[in-house]
A and B are shown apart, each in its own frame.
Chain A
């Protein structure tokens, strides 16, 4: 069967499955809508959390980032998994014992203040929309490449699917759909990873193949790398040859890696759509174990990512270096063993604008090395709509030609780079680069969509819940006498669904006009979560003296500081030289978090202690017995 037909089949089947599950598990009450009835088995919940958690960024972009950053990619790998340790020990069990529906619920009750609750709602909306924009862009990329539609149509198809199961099913629908999405996603990532591992290192498990030896020799442009060399050693050698930093050495500096890792770890522990998953288990014990299972399911993917990243990097050099462009894109290049080095993928991605080639030495062959092949911002090509010799897409910003033949370059020990590669294609194009079978490529499409859609749904649900339950139910429509919401359950459920619809429309808009790179935008959401929720919740549980004045001041200062720093340096063109202590915007959440802690503790020390009943509430959530079902107000 042709690739396109297989893609339609696999994507269609998986979508059909999600919708069937959504109809079967649709929510009838607010409790089912918000926390899936509070009775989800820990293993099931762990799997759903894994899907909720692993986004388009994990599935599509992360291997690309690690592949490009080499050793420094560890910040993402450790940050996005290490946060679960904090979540399991510092947050999940206590929030489960507290037993309400949302993060603003906890903040509002613990800090006995509707102002605190409203600030928390604003934080949820900020964080979730920043994050969801990245997901929608991910959906667009996958659709545009695999379904041959334009990005906008892709985003709209994604919106319709999420609409069906998030609006109908609420948390209950989402939980069971996410379990299915986890299975699709892990299958779609693992199968090609195993193929690659066998191909590159003759080892079945990618996790082990990562440390294996390559069974082939290849020319990196400067020298031959012998068969039987350790994969990572081969990478270190060839990358240094080509002018990059060695793959296994850190090059962005310990300090920035430290800050980024911390922002990602604490952000993970403070993300509202992840925290809320621990309200859905039946017991406190369940919440703890569930965090463990979630990390197991995440680790299955995350321990493969660095391996896939290394395989991809090696394959790029091995298959691209010094091949004749015209022959390559027509699948006419033969390897020494007689097999065909198929290069039609290069043309496909060139057409999507994510790859570009500029034949700087005019030898008709592709050369990869460090340095930009195009001039201007980040070396991104600007296509001018014309095509040149052999159908190559021309740009208006090619870097200057060089007066050296490929042989002279080699004799000089320095290759000039001619290729632009977008990092988002590493996972998506990897199987094609390696020449894997069509059905393997087709399931990657289904997996990428599962990853993006499951996270988008989880985020949209936390936005709609924050609006309907906390903002409308607890702040605007609260009955001052009973302290309960004046809305009937039916009306609140309707409000929740309406809020979900509005959130989907805004998310779609952000997907069509994305504010930046997928992974970068996601990193910001983490910075904001680290600076706003993590300290407020941890202080709420571990520091009885914490009062509402401190909490509100802390959240506001943390959020505003982190947000302005990111906006200034990323979107308003702030200069790198002005970074505070050299910290990149992706890691600034760590400083936001520290400022939050300090401000909160100082303000709280200068204002009256919280009332006795709040101190008793804190005592209560520390003791696991008697968690019961998650309860409404």
Chain B
């Protein structure tokens, strides 16, 4: 693999990670901590939204994020033909 392709791959890798980490941050720190009280004024079923994010919702989102990341990286590696 030549150097410029390696660099392009690395750049796309970083941008993938950054995008997903923004979601990670919003779901946990954003909804579960910083805006907890504001979101708690929204209820669904027996839950207050902020509390739900802090105790359950963010965990579901974390799981999805890792599998999405694995899938995106797999595609990226095929694009640059560096898959194993």
Contacts and interface: CB of A to CB of B under 8 A. Distances in A.
B60 to A, nearest CB: 7
Given A78-B59, A82-B24, A85-B24, A261 B82 contact: no
Contact of B58 (A73, A82, A291): A82
A619 B67 contact: no
Interface string B1-42: 100001001100110010011001000110011101100100
> For chain A, which range describes its interface: under 10, 10 to 19, 20 to 34, or 35 or more residues?
35 or more
Contacts of B54: 71, 74, 77-78
A78 B32 contact: yes
Contacts of A619: 6
A454 B54 CA distance: 27
Contacts of B47: 210-211, 232
Contact of B62 (A85, A213, A254, A288): A85
Interface in A182-220: 207, 210-213
Given A82-B24, A232-B47, A258 B84 contact: no
A248 interface: yes
Interface stretch (A53-61, A298-306, A327-335, A367-375): A298-306
Contacts, number: 139
A207 B56 contact: yes
A91 to B, nearest CB: 11
> For chain B, which range describes its interface: under 10, 10 to 19, 20 to 34, or 35 or more residues?
35 or more
A178 B59 CA distance: 23
A562 B74 CA distance: 38
A623 B82 contact: yes
A624 B70 CA distance: 12
A306 B6 contact: no
Contacts of B13: 622
A288 B69 contact: yes
Contacts of A74: 32-33, 51, 54-55, 58
Contacts of B34: 254, 258
Contact of A232 (B48, B66, B82): B48
A85 B1 contact: no
Interface of A: 66, 71, 73-75, 77-78, 81-82, 84-85, 88-90, 93, 207, 210-213, 230-233, 248-250, 254, 257-258, 261, 265, 283-285, 288-289, 291-292, 295-296, 299, 302-303, 306, 542, 619, 622-627
The 6 closest A-B pairs by CB, nearest first: A74-B54, A230-B46, A211-B46, A306-B55, A292-B66, A248-B51
29 contacts: A78-B54, A78-B58, A81-B58, A85-B21, A85-B24, A88-B69, A90-B17, A210-B47, A211-B52, A213-B46, A230-B45, A232-B46, A232-B48, A250-B36, A250-B37, A261-B29, A265-B28, A285-B73, A285-B77, A285-B84, A288-B66, A292-B66, A299-B59, A303-B59, A619-B6, A624-B83, A624-B84, A625-B77, A625-B83
